[in-house]
Amino acid sequence: MTAKKASAIANANIALSKYWGKRDEKLHLPQNSSISMTTEGLFAHTTVCFDAKFTKDSFVLDGKNIAPDTPEFKDYIGNFLTFVKKEYNITEKARIESKNNFPGSAGLASSAAGFAALATAVNSALGLGLDEKGLSILARRGSGSACRSILGGFVEWKKGVKDDGSDSYAVELATADHWKDFRMVFCITSLSEKKIKSRAGMNETVKTSPFYAEWLKTVESDLARIRQGILEKDFTIVGQTAENNALKMHSLMMTTEPSIMYWNSGTLEVIDAVLDIRDKGMGCYFTMDAGPQVKIICLAKDVEKIMKKIEALKSVEKMIVSRPGEGAYITDDHLF
């Protein structure tokens, strides 16, 4: 039997209206829909090979072997492979290698890019013939937010209502070309790995935050504003709503028991600078995920001035500028 091998590249994505909490922990079905931008230039490159001669599944991430008996393997790649093998009657073991061109596990959506690339590569290696919707559902089985990185530009993950998750996948709201001068400036305030993974954190939030039900009541109107803001290229509406939505999500994290605090002093330093820049009349907003990094939302014309201000802050280790990027795609460039 011949080996079945393929490689894919997928960009990370950053939510403008966040996903935080599941209605089904196993299938990664969310409590609410979310909207994101696929970020050009922050990507995962993944190669997968299924071969009868392999005696065990293996996974190498950024050059480091992740042992199959660790939670890092079992809860992520292990679960995903178990599902794929069962669903498609695959008997061969898999070898997977993945590389991110940006730091992993630091609130920069590395699992989203990684599983979108893996789902795309698996689809090709095994000849599954999945369309965009099928790929988005497959990527979701690895990590919820990964379903959004299958598509490019501005993307909505429809939460769906069915128990089997067949209606919980991402759709394109607007292509990357629709809003060419939309930017996110990633301000890296710490490259250490986060202590609490999003997965564990959001499950605790749903169970213990007294504000969770209130969050759900406000999400639909945030989604509607951001959807409309994107379609009309109304930067103020998108920025204001995204910033407010991120702060609501972080309030949920902080009011989880025991509380989850992803911020560090650098996070506050950057937020303070964004507020200051805005006070002086320039349109810029911020969003944050499960980590201390701040992503500044702005327009291309203001990037240089904003970066100059942020550069002067002692807590910012690195900045990366990103624009709306393409969805996941197959490449002939194999990692092994």
Binding stretches for ligand DP6 (CB under 6 A): 15, 18-20, 28, 34, 111-112, 143-145, 198-199, 289-290
Taking the least distance from each CB to ligand DP6, the nearer of 58 and 111 is: 111
Smallest distance from ligand DP6 to CB 321, Å: 20
Which one-letter amino acid corresponds to residue 155? V
**CB contact set of 75 (below 8 Å; sequence gap of 6+):** 199
DSSP-derived 3-state class of residue 83: helix
Smallest distance from ligand DP6 to CB 119, Å: 13
Tokens 């073991």 found at = 93
Taking the least distance from each CB to ligand DP6, the nearer of 19 and 50 is: 19
Taking the least distance from each CB to ligand DP6, the nearer of 19 and 235 is: 19
Smallest distance from ligand DP6 to CB 328, Å: 15
Taking the least distance from each CB to ligand DP6, the nearer of 61 and 277 is: 61
- Could you tell me how many helices (H) and strands (E) the chain has, helices first? 10, 14
Q: Assess contact for 132 and 308: CB atoms under 8 A.
A: no
Nearest Cα neighbor of 13 from 141, 114, 122, 85 is: 114
- Tokens of residue 177, six digits: 């070309």
Whole-number Å distance between alpha carbons of 220 and 33:
8
Q: Give me the residue whose beta carbon is nearest to ligand DP6.
A: 144
Beta-strand pair 64-65/154-158: unpaired
Smallest distance from ligand DP6 to CB 318, Å: 19
Taking the least distance from each CB to ligand DP6, the nearer of 14 and 125 is: 14
Rounded-to-10 torsion of CA 261, 312, 190, 64: 160
Smallest distance from ligand DP6 to CB 283, Å: 23
Taking the least distance from each CB to ligand DP6, the nearer of 112 and 294 is: 112
Tokens 């002086």 found at = 280
Smallest distance from ligand DP6 to CB 227, Å: 15
